[in-house]
Chain A
Amino acid sequence: QSALTQPASVSGSPGQSITISCTGTSSDVGGYNYVSWYQQYPGKAPKLMIYEVSSRPSGVSNRFSGSKSGNTASLTISGLQAEDEADYYCTSYTTSSTVVFGGGTKLTVL
């Protein structure tokens, strides 16, 4: 199975909005609404930020939102804050009953 495709890095200034894309195929992202996004700080475990494409777990800021169009899912962070600087990973369930991750995106807050 191939990893989902994410940009290696994105950046934005405080207060701005950024979007991270996650491109798969009809066998994963496009085939299910089981797409999640995680935030990871260095040396820490991933934290669930978005599940089932666009749902936010309790306690996650509403500045984080998710969407999907065809085989591409997206994570948007609005009102960027310095604390948002981290790595972000997408993941999807697949038609083979497996799980595939994106390669990760490093977000830099300028």
Chain B
Amino acid sequence: QLQLQESGPGLVKPSETLSLTCSVSGGSISSSSYYWGWVRQPPGKGLEWIGSIFYSGRTYYNPSLKSRVTLSVDTSKNLFSLKLSSVTAADTAVFYCARFSAVPNYWGQGTLVTVSS
């Protein structure tokens, strides 16, 4: 059974870089059938796609976040990562990692990241 698990700091200071990792088990991140990516959800608000990455390293980003987002993949460890720079309070959200077949079809449980000094 596929499992995705987000990990990373739950608290990040304004202007710093948010870093999260998604560990994949029960399936290979090197599958040519899927992309891997991130979706966030601010408290009480809707879902927002952040970006997706293929195992080869090819990336696709939300245009509104592109200047601050970097996705990477480590096939040897079967995980992928998110970096979001210059964060503000508006970046406070639950961050979900997900497997994508064009759009998300399998989700991690999510992790809350709060931006505060």
Contact = CB atoms under 8 A, between A and B. Distances in A.
Interface of A: 1, 3, 32, 34-36, 38, 45-48, 51, 57, 89, 91-93, 96-104
Interface stretch (B16-24, B71-79, B82-90, B105-113): B105-113
Given A32-B102, A36-B104, A93-B103, A45 B46 contact: no
Given A45-B96, A45-B107, A45-B108, A101 B102 contact: no
Given A1-B62, A1-B63, A48 B104 contact: yes
Given A1-B62, A104-B46, A36 B96 contact: no
A93 B63 CA distance: 14
Given A99-B49, A100-B49, A101-B48, A36 B105 contact: yes
A24 to B, nearest CB: 12
Given A1-B64, A57-B105, A104-B46, 15 more contacts: A1-B63, A36-B104, A45-B96, A45-B110, A47-B107, A48-B105, A51-B101, A51-B103, A93-B103, A99-B100, A99-B102, A101-B46, A101-B47, A101-B48, A101-B49
29 contacts: A1-B62, A1-B64, A32-B102, A34-B102, A35-B103, A36-B104, A45-B96, A45-B107, A45-B108, A46-B47, A48-B106, A51-B101, A89-B47, A91-B47, A91-B49, A91-B103, A93-B102, A96-B63, A98-B49, A98-B61, A98-B62, A99-B49, A99-B52, A99-B100, A99-B103, A101-B39, A101-B47, A101-B48, A103-B46
Interface of B: 37, 39, 46-49, 52, 60-64, 96, 100-110
What secondary structure prevails in chain B residues at the interface with A? Answer: strand
A96 B52 CA distance: 13
A51 B110 CA distance: 21
